[in-house]
Structure 1
Amino acid sequence: MTSFLFYILAAFAEIAGCFSFWAWTRLGKSMLWTIPGTISLVFFAWILTKVDIDIAGRAYAIYGGIYIVCSLLWLWVVEDTRPDKCDIVGAVICLFGASIILLAPRS
Structure 2
Amino acid sequence: MVLRSILLFLAAAVCEIGGAWLVWQGVRENRGLLWIGGGVVALGVYGFVATLQPDAHFGRILAAYGGVFVAGSLGWGMVADGYRPDRYDVLGALLCLAGVAVIMYAPRTG
Q: TM-score normalised to the size of structure 1? A: 0.91
Q: Which has the higher contact order (CA 8 A, sep 6+)?
A: 1
| Aligned residue pairs, count | 107
- Unaligned residue ranges in structure 1 (runs of 5+): none
Runs (4+) off by over 4 Å: none
Mapped partners of 1:74, 1:27: distance in 2: 17
Aligned counterpart for 2:18 among listed residues 16, 19, 28: 16
- 2:103 equivalent to 1:101: yes
Letter in structure 2 aligned against 1:41? L
Mapped partners of 2:28, 2:104: distance in 1: 36
**How far is the alpha carbon of 1:22 from its aligned partner?**
0.9
Secondary structure of the structure 2 residue equivalent to 1:106 = coil
CA RMSD of aligned residues (A): 1.2
Mapped partners of 2:29, 2:88: distance in 1: 26
- Unaligned residue ranges in structure 2 (runs of 5+): none
Letter in structure 1 aligned against 2:103? I
CA distances 1:12-64 after superposition (whole Å, capped 9, x unpaired):
11011111111122112212211211111111111111111110110111111
Identity %: 35
CA distances 1:64-102 after superposition (whole Å, capped 9, x unpaired):
111111111101101111211111010011111121111
**Residue pair 2:16, 2:46 contacting (<8 A) in 1 also:** yes
Letter in structure 2 aligned against 1:94? C
Mapped partners of 2:25, 2:105: distance in 1: 37
